[in-house]
Amino acid sequence: MPKKQIIHEQWSSRLAFVLAATGSAVGLGNIWKFPYITGENGGGAFVLVYLMCICLIGIPIMMAEIMLGRRGQQSPVGAMRTLALESGVSSHWAVLGAVGIVAGILIMSFYSVIAGWAVSYMLEAALGHFNGLTGETAGAKLGGLLGDPLQLTFWHTIFSAMTAFVVARGVRSGLEKAVQILMPLLFVLLLIMLGYAISTGYFMQGLQFLFAVDFAKLTPEAILTALGHAFFTLSLGMGAIMVYGSYMPKGASIAKTTFIIAILDTLVALMAGMAIFPLVFANGLEAGAGPGLVFVTLPIAFGEMFGGALFGTLFFLLLVFAAWTSAISLIEPATAWLSENRGMKRSTAAYAVTFVCWALGLVTVMSFSSWSFSFHFAGAEKTDGMFDVLDILTSTFMLPLGGLAIAIFTGWVMKQVYVRDEIRLGQGVFAVWYQVIRWVAPLLLLYLFIHSLGFA
């Protein structure tokens, strides 16, 4: 059996790991996408299906990815190579780690551009620029931002620099300190927004929109939407959870930790919905506005409400924090790999990876203006050029296939004795989890992948 060495720092405690992994999972999608798709797909019925999908695919694969990272004790590439050799199979399984690293870089390239919108809107709210907005002027404001490459590049650069600064400082001095500050603040901001939503008089209407069970709206498409979101919301398949797992103390329970992360991630999404929709209904706005809910509809609401400048600033600060904790995890796998394999100082590696992501992000910046083009994918028209291409490449292909490969490697390739040694569950519970990771999760992921291509 290959000798393993701990070449990373480690989280100081299980709590630090929980905060970091939750920060990776909680992102922009939790704040607007989950509430929106819940309301559009049956409310409480959709939430029930989503929670089932979290249990059947999200939690089992997250446990597997953490397990691979902790046993491998390296970046995703090194970890998969070590674990493959340990189980007596080809070291080519290292490709799985490499694909995750590349996916993280590609996602970060456009994620930081979108996060830059939140930074921009946070300042717009603070300066009172939402006052008097109408549907037309709010749309024009967003359109003006997207059509200005210099302004987009500026905010993209600011957010990229914020992310690099944290990762360059290392695990305990950078990642851990950042999430110990940002994650509690994120929950505090959510509670403040939730408290205000309760005071609007439309809180019960918001709860009704989110949680009223309507099985008539629970179509096969809605079930697939729940399945897909359950996978993507936990940041699986991109190497982030694997490399975070490599910093996890040996004594911490993988199962308990994973359950806590999944609960916190879902709680943030539900709290966001309970905070957002009462504001929307109180101002007579459209609840089913999708992405426009955050950058068009809500600015109108903040411009009309009492204390709108304050609450608008807090809301977009919340978005920035959520995006920041996720972005940190996106560049960490590549940073760890360069530190291990190319002899780079951690700070140099972090800034090098961030620069690559920043340069690729310029393609997304231009996709909203002069480089835009339209195409059809899986029956839907895409209009934002390379931004849509990168989004489809990562979310439709790389991440599901990465998750599928993690399940196959854990359930069919890695020797069960090594899996059991890391997972440390009772015999009966382990048997159930192991069959889920061998059969249920791969089949569901494979079906999701085939359906997303329009073949099912």
Q: What crossing angle do the helices spanning 135-146 and 149-168 adopt, rounded to 10°?
A: 70
The count of structural domains within the chain is 1
How much is the pLDDT for 1?
Answer: 44
Residue 82 has a CB neighbour count (10 Å cut-off) of: 23
Handedness of CA 62, 68, 74, 78 (dihedral sign): negative
pLDDT > 70: percent of the chain: 97
CB 59 within 8 A of CB 258: yes
CB 215 within 8 A of CB 43: no
Which of 104-113, 316-325, 333-342, 371-380 has the lowest average pLDDT? Answer: 371-380
384 confidence band (pLDDT: 50, 70, 90): confident
**Separation CA 42–CA 209 (nearest Å):** 9
3-state secondary structure at position 375: strand
How much is the pLDDT for 4?
Answer: 45
Most confident of 104-113, 135-144, 274-283: 104-113
CB 221 within 8 A of CB 55: no
Q: Is residue 121 part of a domain?
A: yes
What predicted TM-score, i.e. pTM, was given to this entire model? 0.93
Residue 3 has a CB neighbour count (10 Å cut-off) of: 6
Residue with tokens 């920060």: 23
Instruction: Find the CATH number of the domain harbouring 77.
Output: 1.20.1740
Q: Is the pLDDT of residue 122 over 80?
A: yes
How much is the pLDDT for 217?
Answer: 81
Q: Is residue 1 part of a domain?
A: no
Q: Is residue 302 part of a domain?
A: yes
Alpha carbon of 53 to those of 12, 47, 225, 292: distances in Å? 31, 10, 10, 27
Q: Is residue 6 part of a domain?
A: no
How much is the pLDDT for 377?
Answer: 81
How much is the pLDDT for 227?
Answer: 85
3-state secondary structure at position 382: strand
CA dihedral defined by 231, 233, 237, 241, rounded to 10 degrees?
-130
Which of 41-55, 60-74, 248-262 has the lowest average pLDDT? Answer: 41-55
Mean pLDDT of 319-325: 95
How much is the pLDDT for 249?
Answer: 87
Handedness of CA 228, 270, 323, 375 (dihedral sign): positive
Long-range pairs for 375-384 at CB < 8 Å and ≥24 separation? 378/452, 378/453, 378/454, 379/454
- Amino acid code (one letter) for 426: G
Q: Is residue 2 part of a domain?
A: no
Alpha carbon of 402 to those of 50, 52, 236, 355, 434: distances in Å? 21, 21, 8, 25, 18
User: Nearest to residue 410, comparing CAs of 72, 102, 3?
Assistant: 72
More confident residue, 122 or 32: 122
CA dihedral defined by 393, 394, 397, 402, rounded to 10 degrees?
150
CB 42 within 8 A of CB 211: no
**Separation CA 380–CA 391 (nearest Å):** 14
**Separation CA 70–CA 44 (nearest Å):** 36
378 confidence band (pLDDT: 50, 70, 90): low
215 confidence band (pLDDT: 50, 70, 90): confident
Q: Is residue 8 part of a domain?
A: no
Q: Is the pLDDT of residue 353 over 70?
A: yes
**Separation CA 96–CA 344 (nearest Å):** 23
Domain that holds residue 76: 14-452
124 confidence band (pLDDT: 50, 70, 90): very high
Q: Is residue 334 part of a domain?
A: yes
